Structure 1
Amino acid sequence: MADWEIWLTIVALAVATAATRASFWLVGHHIHLPKRVHEVLRYAPACALAAIVAPDLVLAADGHAHLALSNLKLVSGVVAIAFYAIRRNMLETIIFGMAFFTALRLLHIF
């Protein structure tokens, strides 16, 4: 691939990204979304985060599901979810989950 093709690709992707993001600013006030769509969009960040985090908790390095107590990420994730169900504080959950995961790794419990 020639240098000009690489730069053309970078510029095209930058324009496409800017156009899709700016479209909401340019025409967003002309488009009215139904109330139901607004309610559903509230859950989009949580769904995106779950889609990113869940595979990391479940999959082993070889790409296969690893559902055992020896999977420290999965155990820590389940404990963090239980902690969040009790405390309802996201920052505390992140800190607790990472501390729990680190403790499991350092103590070699499983």
Structure 2
Amino acid sequence: MFDPVCPSSLSPVRVGDKWGALIVRCLADGPRRFGELRVPLRGITAKVLTSSLRTLERERLVARTELPGRRVEYALTDLGRSLLVPLDAMCAWADAHWDEILDAADDALAREGAVAH
């Protein structure tokens, strides 16, 4: 990944992308319409959801299908479905280390607060 000729900037797996991974997880049980995705993704704006879905579609992780009546549905592609295994592993890791993750976040906030004062 540090090789100058490696196209790592094109990597479709953006671990730090909050919404992309969550959208993939929301589509794990089958296709959903735009409005149906907004329910479990509380806090996402329509603009951000649209942008994230377009990115996932461009990366061929999600397929967009136009339905009768001007409706659109989103579903994981085979490539997108293959991403569920590593996402499950990351979720299991986070679950196993949740207290440590929260402690680290609290420590970071405390350090930032100390530096600000």
* Alignment TM class, shorter chain as reference: under 0.3
Structure with the higher fraction of residues in strand conformation: 2
Give the TM-score normalised by the residue count of structure 2: 0.24
Q: Which has the higher contact order (CA 8 A, sep 6+)?
A: 2
